[in-house]
């Protein structure tokens, strides 16, 4: 037998071609579907890697998948995700870009939960070129322009 058997699944909101472990949700009200590694992967401290999940998905039109970190991996080990947009017309294998901001190398094993996929609706407005934009109270104020970065008690000391 060459490789794992390929099984097709269909859900009301997305289709999946499974070459590894099926997506799961940690609880009834979990926002994301857990993504699992289908291979062992070492992410060196300060480094990054693309970890394969072994799945192909077909998200419904008008939606996209946002790959988000798992909170426990982020807090305990400094593992974060990057390049986390899966378009509804993408049909390739789903890989997850993982960064290791921790102080030690981190080893994933096949079957480990590595990230979560959150399926979100998107808005695709028509683009209209204009000469000027409407004025707002905020205007062009950018980074930090709407408030300070310390609590009131820290600011008064």
Token reading at 116? 């979560």
pLDDT of 12: 43
Helix (H, G, I), strand (E, B) or coil at 86: strand
Going by the DSSP 8-state scheme, the letter that residue 140 receives in this structure is T
Task: For the chain, give the percent of residues with pLDDT over 70.
Answer: 82
Q: Which residues pair with 67 in a beta bridge?
A: 117
Q: For residues 66 and 84, what is the distance between their CA atoms, to the nearest angstrom?
A: 5
Express as a percent the part of the chain with pLDDT over 90.
65
Q: Within a 10 A sphere around the Cβ of 147, how many other Cβ atoms? A: 6
What the block records as the tokens of 16 is: 């999946």
Residue 20 in this model has a pLDDT that exceeds 90: no
Reported as a single tens digit per residue, the pLDDT across 56-83 is 889 999 999 999 999 999 999 999 999 8
- The reported pTM is 0.76
Average pLDDT over residues 27-56: 95
Nearest in space to 46 (alpha carbons), one of 105, 97, 95 = 105
> Under 8 Å CB-to-CB from 7, ≥6 apart: which residues?
17, 18
- Among the residue ranges 26-35, 76-85, 96-105, 140-149, the one predicted with the least confidence is 140-149
Q: What does the pLDDT average to over 75-92? A: 95
The structural domains of the chain, ordered by start, are 13-121 (2.70.40.10)
Separation between Cα atoms, residue 97 and residue 80, nearest integer Å: 8
Residue 110 has pLDDT above 70, yes or no: yes
Residue 113 neighbours by CB distance under 10 Å: 16
Mean pLDDT of 131-146: 85
Residue 73 tokens read as 């991996």
Compare 88 and 152 and report the one with higher pLDDT. 88
């Amino acid at each position: 037998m060459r490789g794992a058997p390929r099984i097709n699944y269909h859900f009301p909101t997305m289709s999946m071609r499974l070459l590894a472990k099926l997506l799961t949700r940690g609880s009834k009200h979990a926002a994301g579907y857990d993504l699992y590694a289908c291979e062992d992967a070492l992410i060196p401290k300060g480094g990054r890697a693309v970890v394969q999940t072994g799945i192909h998905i077909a998200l419904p039109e008008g939606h996209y998948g946002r790959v988000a970190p798992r909170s426990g991996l982020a807090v305990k080990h400094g593992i974060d995700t990057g390049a986390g947009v899966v378009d509804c017309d993408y049909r390739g294998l789903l890989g997850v870009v993982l960064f290791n901001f921790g102080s030690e190398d981190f080893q994933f094993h096949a079957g480990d939960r590595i990230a979560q996929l959150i399926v979100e609706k998107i808005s695709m407005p028509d683009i209209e070129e204009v000469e000027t934009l409407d004025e707002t109270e905020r205007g062009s104020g950018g980074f930090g322009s709407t408030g300070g970065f310390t609590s009131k008690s820290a600011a008064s000391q």
